Structure formats: structure tokens, C-alpha cells
Structure 1
Amino acid sequence: MKKILQTLLLLLGLCLPFVGVNARADETAQHLQVIVQHQFENQSGSEMVTGSDIPLSLYEITADYGQKDPEKAQAFLEGFSQMSPLEVKEYLAKEQVPKLETVLTDQNGKAHFDIQGNNTAYLIVQDTPVKGQTIVPLAFSLPLLAVDGTLKNMIELYTKPVELTTCPYFYKYGVSGKEQKPLASAEFVIYKEVEAEKQYLTMDGKTFSTSVDPLGDPKIKKYTSDENGLVLCDTVLDQGKYFFSEVKAPSGYSISAEAKQVAFEVLETGKVSLQGVMLAELVGGMVPSSFTEAPKVLNYAQVTEKEDDPANGSSESSKDQGGTLGGSNDQTGGDLGSKPSTGKHNGFLAQLGEKKNMVSMLGIVMLIIATFILLKQRKGSKDNE
């Protein structure tokens, strides 16, 4: 009889921890209504207006979220606000994240989602841009607690719209020995060939004109590489073939043949292909951090006897052009990292591991006691023999 009782105690001790986990899951299970308010800038840019009939999609990202400890889980959710739409799209496809539903915003610009879960995580995105705009992704997890510690039954999130634009760009790099680095202050013009004659884009960004000295001609539009080497044309061009041409190199560098004729094409779809690479759309006016294939155009350091002379500014000038390609990507992350305008995104993350389950602890204690009794009985049996 004692052995049967001990066996039952042992089994009960083994089962209680799992009962405790289920009890805790039931305790924090939450039904939540999520209201997403969509708004965007009007054409004048003077105010925000509500956007109706905008498709917003809800994805469940629990699989990745649940594999992380509380601190990393929070960083995982916050990281989506730093991602470009292209990065989010690639993530969803790569991880095969399930889409739960797509909802159109109503006439008041609101989309309603009903969700339920515990220790689950969700992502709301705009799958397809509308009128050249999309939203910064919204990520959150359950349970969500009110100030008094009770479960929330409704939250309201506000979208942050970002503009998507298509234009030609590339990165300007300098080569000195085995080293490559971004070059600032290189100047370029854009031209097209009309009946074997070069015509240059003018300052109005619309018309083209011939010129015998495009660098010195004040009516010809110039484009200058920034500290990351980025050369960006923010002008919307008609369908056709064009060329960037470098007209002034940074101090200490010479203009390469490649830099004098950087070909690009504006396609019928509006997309831009530069040197055989299909360029990603700009997000909020910046190159998305996920796009790592942007072409590089090289210049080569001039090798002269004066280059190493401290009195000559060439070497120091080329050193000052330092930077990394990643700097451009950091700018993109900073712009998209802003949270929704209401600030409600903060505090939406699940509070993991904050409650101890007494039922589970009791099961462990009973398991230890049962094991101790069983071992003591076996030892007594051996002593009697």
C-alpha cells in the first residue's frame, strides 16, 4: 500500500508543473480589439488627413518572438519600426509568416482587428503602397496590461506614413592601393544623347540643354556625393536612357573612365535600372538599409611625389573622405524608427517571467518528498536483509 501511495505522489509531482503552466496560460489569455487609425499628409503637406480604403494586414510573429528571452523579445518587436518596407516583406517571405487577415480602413481611416492569445506577438503592415506611400510596421504582443494590472480589451494604434520614390542613385568610392572608401564632394551632371549630341539636365529639373562647359555652366544642374559617397538624383525623369558624368573629382583623386559615363534607364514602369541593377525605391527619401546591391563607381588616387608631402593637402584631403556604406543604411533606420505619433507603442510589450506559479512549485516539492521516501524505504529493506 505504501508503495502504491508513493507511486501516486511521484506521478502527481511530475504532472503538477504542467498543470501549473496551463493554469497560467488560462489566467493571462486575452481577447483584444485593436483599432488602427491611418493618416497621411495631404498634397500641400500642411496637415494630416485620414485615409480610407487602405489595406492593412495582420501577421502572427509568435514563432520568432517566443524563442527569445524577455529582453530580446522586446528588442525583436521594436526592431520592426527600424525596418524598411522591403526588409519587412523579405522577412515575411523568408520566415513564411502566416497572414491572419487583411482589413480595409473605413471612411474614418480606421481598421479593426480582433485577436486572442497569450504570449503571442503580432505585426500590422501595409502590404501594397497606395499613391506612393506606405506605413511604418506596428508590432506588439499579448498580454497587454492596464495601469491597474488588469488585461486590456482594446488598444488604438496610429500609423506613420512614409513616402516611396523611384530615382537613380549610386555610391562613389575611392581606391587607394588595396583600400576602398566612400568619397564625398565628387560632382556629377546628367545628360542624354540626342542625335549623337550630349544634352545636359538644367536647374529646373525638366529641360535639357547643350553646353561646352557643364561644370562651369550655372544653368546645368550638379549632383554632389555626400559623406557616404551617395550620389542621388531627386528629379523625376521621363522614360528613357541617361548618363551620370563626373565633372569634378575630390582632391587627391582622378576621374575614372567609368565615372564619366554611368548609364541608367528609367523604365516604362517608373523603376530605374543603373548599370544592370534594378534600384530599390527610396523610403522617406533615403536608400533602404536592406538594399545592399546599389552600384559603386570608382575613382583612383593620384600617385604623385607631392602626395605624401604634409604641406600638400592631397593626402589629408583624401583621408577626410572617410565613411562607410553602412552610414547610408543607418540614416534609413533612424527615419523609420520613429514610433507612432501618439507614443502608445511603448508599454505594449508582454511582461514575461514576472509571475511565479505556486502550483508548479508545489509539484516540485512533492516530487522531492516522494523520491526521498522511496529511497529511504529501499535503504531500510536492504538493512533488514
Structure 2
Amino acid sequence: MLGKIIKKVLLTVVIFIGALFIAYLLFNNFYPSLGGDVTKERQLVYEGSNQFKDGKFKNIKAVPKELSFGETLDLAYKFFTTEVKNGRPKKDLEVLKLDSARVAAYKSQTRMLWFGHSSFLLQMDGKNILLDPMFGKVPAPHPWLGDERFNKEMPLDVQKLPKIDAVIFSHDHYDHLDYETILGIKDKVDHYFVPLGLGVHLEAWGISSDRITELDWWQEEELGGITLVCTPAQHFSGRKLSNGQSTLWSSWVVKSDSESIYFSGDSGYAPHFKEIGEKYGPFDLALMECGQYDKMWPDIHMMPEETALAGIDVKARKIMPIHWAGFKLALHDWKDPILRVKKKAIELDLKVIAPRIGQEIMVADSLSTYANWWKDL
């Protein structure tokens, strides 16, 4: 009798594990938000890149460390079980709402509009350029797999964005490249500029390859008098367990005849910042990653003090901390990034601006000040 019970229990466990495995395979291969996969044929093209070796893209420094299965489980356990005091704002962040008609009609001095985290609309020389547009509620392939963003409303709904001349992506992680956002904007976008490999995701979502330009580090393209440069970063990529480092990550330089912007993407602190500053600086404004850091992953995200140092390295006249005030993706107080970077910037005599979500940012402006809107949140 006992033997029959044990057999039934074991059979039930095997069936359950088998069902989970099949569900994973179906999800991994067919769920659309996961994007595409780089083919062997495309890998042959990428072999000409100094960053591509043995089927994967690499950082100049040998990071991030390849974690064992046990280390991965330990990291995940700490992330999901550690209680973070003030990990989210006390209430939803209020945003400044934008008038879609005025945004579409804007043709004046170069400005940026922040949509939280690392997403911007850049309006330069009559062009509308989106940087890492992510309008989704959750930075994950499915709503059940992540925390919602800190603000329920956006300054401008994705459907009300103006015609977009170009979209620039830094890498393929979910808090930067969002499936639902792409579906919402793809009919109003002329062209996409992305690091090597990232185009496979856009193509999987119905965007033709002739509307996508993939660039390696230090390669340049022109957009109606605006120079776009794909520059290095120290990070990693992947949208599922089976395609890590299959696409490249990058930062970006955007330069017109009169103004220059640096967009760090996601990056650990490394010598590439000084090299970019020497080649393309000084910058009127540097949008610098500052948030979602931890001592468990020090090489792929900067501590706030390093954000300020990187601003000096790229020769920025002022920096704006980004990658914060959007999502909880690390174990620090949500206000820790802005408080620490401002403190370090004072020590370095570096100007820091921290607008509210939706607030206009004039790129060449050196006089405007911004209230500490996060103070009581």
C-alpha cells in the first residue's frame, strides 16, 4: 500500500515538473515580449566587431562574472526576500502633464522631456528623437514578474507622441526596451538606431530591417545634420535565460552644430568615460546612470559617487541622473541615488539637474534650478 502511494506521489511530482518545463519552453520560444534571437548567419556578420567573441559580446574588462546556478539562486533569493526601507515612494509620483499639440509643434531651442527612469524625448534641430522609450508599467516580460513603476500616469501617453524621426536604444533589457511601447510607436517612427544585434527584437515585432541601423562602438551615423555616435558602455544584455550577451550594449553621443548630449545607457564605472570625453566632449548635458546599484553587481551599474566622477570624465557642463525614480530594481532607498550624487557633485564642483518627470529641460541652459521635489516622498 505504501509503495503505491509513493509511486503516485513520485508520478505527480514528475508530471508537475514536466508541465513546468513544457510551459517554460512554450513561454521561452513563443511569448512575443521576449523578442527575437540572433541567428548563426548574423553572428558571422558580428565577428568583425572587436566586442564579439565565441558567439557573445564582451566588455573590455572581463565582467560581469558568469554566475553558477547556485550563485544565481542566491542572488535571486536575496533580491526577492530582502525588505528595503523606503524602497518605493510613499505615494505615486506626480508628473507634469504635457500638451500633445504643443509637443508636436515645438521647433525652438534644443530641449528634452523626461518620462522617468532612462526615457526621453529629445527635440533638436526640428527632429524628434526618443531615447530608450519605455512606457510600460512593469520592466519584465509579463506583468506578474515585476513591480510597477513609481508613477501611474505618464506625462504624455504613448499614443499621443508626435511623429518620431528616430529612436535610439542603449540595450535590450526590459526597463529600456519594451514590447508594448514598440507596438504603440512603430507606425509613427521613421528609423531606429541600435547597438549590434538589438535589431532582431524589433524585427520580431514587425519592424522592417530597412528601418533599423545597427552600430558597433565608435561608429557614427547622420540624421539630418545631427551626428549619432554609438559609444562604449560596461554592461550586459539578454531578454531570456538562453540569450545572454547575444546583443551589444552601448552609450550614445548626440551632437548638432550647436549642442552636444551624452546618454550613458546602463554602465559600470570604467575608463571608457574618459575616452568618450576626450573624443567628443565637452557635453552641454550628460544623462548619467544613477540607480539600481548594489555591491553584489558593482561592475555593471555605477554607485552615485561614480556617476558624478563619470560626469567629470566625459567633460559634462552639467549632468542629469537617470535610471532612478522609475522602478525598484535594486535594494537601496529610492531617494539614495539623487542624495548621494548631489553630495559628491558639490565636492567635484559639478552641476547636477534633477527635474520632475515631464518637466522641460533646455539643453544649453546653465541658469535654471530645480526644486527638490522628492524631499517628502
Higher Cα Rg, which structure = 1
| Same fold, judged at TM 0.5 (above) | no
The interval holding the TM-score normalised by the smaller chain is under 0.3
TM-score (norm 1): 0.19
Q: Which has the higher contact order (CA 8 A, sep 6+)?
A: 1
- Structure with greater proportional strand content: 1
